[in-house]
Amino acid sequence: MTPHPSLHRIASAWALIATVGLGACGSHGSSAPPPPPPVMHNLQVTVTGRGEVDSAPAGLACTDACNANYDADTVVTLTANAGAASVFIGWSGDDDCLDGQVTMSAARNCTANFVPYPNLNISAGDGFSYAFTFIGGAAFDWGSDVDEALGNGTGAAAASAPGTTTLPAVVTAMVTSAVAHHGLAVEAVTGRVWAWGRNAEGQLGDGSLTARGDAVVMHDTNAAEVTAATAVATGATHSLVLLGDGRVLAAGANDAGQLGDGTTISRPLAAPVPGVCAAGVPAVAIAAGRNFSLALCADGALRAWGANAMGQLGDGSLVDRSSPVTVGGLAGITVAEIAAGGDFALALGSQGDVFAWGSNAKGQLGTDIGVVSHLSTPGRVPGFTGAVFIAAGLEHGMALLADQAVFAWGSNAGGQIDPTPGAPAVVNFSFHVAGLSDIVEIAAGADHSMAVDASGAVWAWGSNATGQLGNGNLLPATLPVQVTGLNLLN
């Protein structure tokens, strides 16, 4: 007798249940074991200096230290972004870190190294400009060569794009100012001071009054070469040198007492400025205006000497001083940096505030009150916070902020603040300069301004009548333009 079909279906169902039950409960079931967890490795990143590191694939974003796990053999691209007034100089750590492309075949430790960007890699003069490379100290100049200001060889012509100077040495500083037609440089290692350009008042310190198109070595009153310098500054017709031991030397014109030796007798050789700081206290920074001088002391005192008709010495008077006096009005302020313009001065406080004093004829105090002709003690420049660097031109001031934005105020006659057509000739308030990003350094000339970005590119805006913008022509610019063929990180 043939079983009913329904009985076959019932028997098959019970057989399937029994098979599944045995597989689930038995110790030797036929199902595959679960896959092992993926292999992962940890990437640790440390940041030294002011900067930030990001990653692709995402997972890392830090300004000090961070870590993340990645699947084995993942290639992680690390990106280093320099902060304000800082520059990225490379990776260190495990060998696989050195190009920023990390293959995660094992745990890795990488360090991003940032260093402060030197404050004087660029310098803007009266119709000309200087720059030198961050690594290697190669020197360049462009613009007007009036009075041999370019130092590119006696009889050489002006240039609208960067050219090399006659400096025979690698330099660690190369400066001029908005009021000067001469330049100074500090030689690496020895600190020897080189000078070139106008010398009618003895500002080159070589013992003569002869202009120099080829750089010469500055000498002191003992006929010895000036060495061990750490910084230099140029006034219109005088020069200052800061030595490693904190002494300040001066040479050149002294009609307003800008040499600070208690006389008004000019001198074509460098000699120490007596009484710059308190006994035993070194100077740590210097600046020179048209015919006055500034020095910052290690104990925080800010000292000034020379012309004072517009209150540029900041001592509350309008009396010239042939010996250093103390700049007033800064009680409770820790000064981090100083700058000197034509007849005004700037100080940067450690909290990011900027203070100005002296002439306000073209709004260079940034007070937004054009009727104030001058201030004989410092007043705060309003309109921004968080400054990390300052620069002073002939009649305009500049500030670089921690977020890498640039603000400027004062004379805009050449478009050195706002180069757009129709912009006012005077800007009495701090103005955010457009067309710039990732800026790490600024400089202010007579009628043009300059900046360096984190990639090492140099930018310039304002008057270009003598090629001082360095972009290969003499045409005005309506936005900052890049200086041709120059990168300061190369």
**pLDDT one-digit tens code per residue, 466-478:** 999 999 999 989 9
Q: Is residue 107 part of a domain?
A: yes
Structural domain of residue 100, as residue ranges? 40-116
Q: Is it the case that residue 335 has pLDDT exceeding 50?
A: yes
Quickly state the pLDDT bin for 97 (edges 50, 70, 90): very high
My answer on whether 167 and 294 are in the same domain is yes
Query: Which residue carries 């200086």 as its tokens?
Result: 483
Q: What 3-state class would DSSP assign to 332?
A: coil
Q: Is residue 9 part of a domain?
A: no
Whichever domain contains 87, its CATH number is 3.10.20
Average pLDDT over residues 242-252: 97
Provide φ and ψ at 387, rounded to 5°.
-70, 145
My answer on whether 220 and 275 are in the same domain is yes
Q: Is it the case that residue 479 has pLDDT exceeding 70?
A: yes
Residue predicted with more confidence, 402 or 461: 461
Residue predicted with more confidence, 284 or 14: 284
Lowest mean pLDDT among 163-172, 206-215, 470-479: 163-172
My answer on whether 110 and 160 are in the same domain is no
- Strand-pair category, 248-252 with 267-272: antiparallel
Quickly state the pLDDT bin for 176 (edges 50, 70, 90): very high
Residue predicted with more confidence, 15 or 132: 132
Among residues 339, 356, 382, the one where a domain terminates is 382
CB atoms within 10 A of CB 334: 10
pLDDT tens digit sequence for 98-146: 999 999 999 999 999 887 766 569 999 999 999 998 878 899 999 999 9
Among residues 67, 100, 116, the one where a domain terminates is 116
Position 6 scores a pLDDT of: 45
What does the block give as tokens for 263?
């006389």
My answer on whether 207 and 102 are in the same domain is no
Quickly state the pLDDT bin for 302 (edges 50, 70, 90): very high
Query: Which residue carries 């007849």 as its tokens?
Result: 343
Of the chain, the percentage scoring pLDDT greater than 90 comes to 80
My answer on whether 111 and 216 are in the same domain is no
> Residues with Cβ < 8 Å from 366, sequence gap 6 or more?
354, 356, 381, 382, 383, 397, 409, 410, 428, 429, 430
My answer on whether 193 and 245 are in the same domain is yes
My answer on whether 112 and 211 are in the same domain is no
My answer on whether 73 and 211 are in the same domain is no
My answer on whether 254 and 365 are in the same domain is yes
Among residues 116, 139, 157, the one where a domain terminates is 116
My answer on whether 206 and 281 are in the same domain is yes
> Residues with Cβ < 8 Å from 141, sequence gap 6 or more?
128, 129, 130, 131, 150, 151, 152, 159, 162, 163, 165, 183
Q: Is residue 473 part of a domain?
A: no
Lowest mean pLDDT among 111-120, 168-177, 365-374, 436-445: 111-120
Question: What is the count of structural domains for the chain?
Answer: 2
Query: Which residue carries 């119709």 as its tokens?
Result: 127
Position 84 scores a pLDDT of: 66
Position 240 scores a pLDDT of: 98
My answer on whether 378 and 281 are in the same domain is yes
Whichever domain contains 368, its CATH number is 2.130.10.30
Lowest mean pLDDT among 1-15, 226-240, 476-490: 1-15
My answer on whether 223 and 130 are in the same domain is yes
- Report residue 370 CA to chain centroid gap: 29
Q: What is the mean pLDDT of the chain?
A: 91
